[in-house]
Amino acid sequence: IQPSNEAIKGFFPDLEEESNQKVSVLRAAAS
């Protein structure tokens, strides 16, 4: 399961600048 950038922004609305890092971390954890 790979969450989309929009979903990540939904979870981390105040950290949009770090959204790419969050996506990478969550994708790694989900894989």
- pLDDT per residue as tens digits for the range 1-31: 676 777 766 766 665 566 677 778 888 888 7
Q: What type of residue is 15?
A: L
Residue 16: which residues within 8 A CB-CB, separation 6 or more? 9
Q: Report CA-CA distances (Å) from 12 to 2, 5, 22, 30.
A: 16, 10, 8, 17
Q: Where are the chain's structural domains?
A: 1-31
pTM, two decimal places: 0.34
